[in-house]
Amino acid sequence: MVYHRLWMFGNLAAIVFSMVYIWFFRPHDSSLLIAAQLLAQIGMILFLVNLNMYFIFLVIRKTSVRKVKISLAKFSRYLMKWHIKIALIATTIIIGHAFINLYKLGPIIGFTHLKLITGYLAIASLSFTLVAGYLRHKKASGFRRKFHLITAFVFLGIFLLHMFIFI
């Protein structure tokens, strides 16, 4: 199973690339915009932690090594207790990021700039993911699990698009 190495490399690459891009290629003079960048970085890492739950469960299903299944099952039980809390904290952080950027960057680049439009779409898709997660939490079913998973990956796609658009 080489997929776990690829997945971990993808996570690490996303974090490192975003750090390099945010802190070295997009520096700002405003301390408020620097705070928004920091909030974006923290929110991204928290969302990646939550998204990795899918990968953990995938490895549990696909691996034939019993020791790996047991250790990942124990870890996932612990991490699942924090899944909702992490999502709510990350959402609060991202909303702070959005408000700061709307306040500081909106008037400068325009509220219809592609960066802001993808930000609006990311917030909307995050809302769908949170609603899907809430529904799944209230009553688990195969449809609700898939719906939450699909909305999470749609959010990831829109979020990555938003992150890689230059101002």
User: Which two structure tokens, joined as six digits, stand for 98?
Assistant: 């959005």
Q: How far apart are CA 75 and CA 158, in angstroms?
A: 29
User: Which two structure tokens, joined as six digits, stand for 117?
Assistant: 């439009």
CB-based contact 94:123 (threshold 8 Å):
yes
Domain ranges of the chain: 3-164
Q: Tell me the per-residue pLDDT of 9-25, one tens digit each, with 9 for 90 and over.
A: 888 888 888 888 777 77
Question: If you count them, how many residues does the chain have?
Answer: 167
Residue 51: CB partners within 8 Å, gap ≥ 6?
Answer: 152, 156
CB-based contact 115:162 (threshold 8 Å):
yes
Q: Tell me the per-residue pLDDT of 121-161, one tens digit each, with 9 for 90 and over.
A: 999 999 999 999 999 999 989 999 999 999 999 999 999 89
Q: Which amino acid is at 75?
A: F
Higher per-residue confidence, 1 vs 62: 62
Q: Which amino acid is at 165?
A: I
Q: The whole model's pTM is what?
A: 0.88
Q: Residues 145, 124, 21, 2: what is their CA dihedral angle, to the nearest 10 degrees?
A: 10
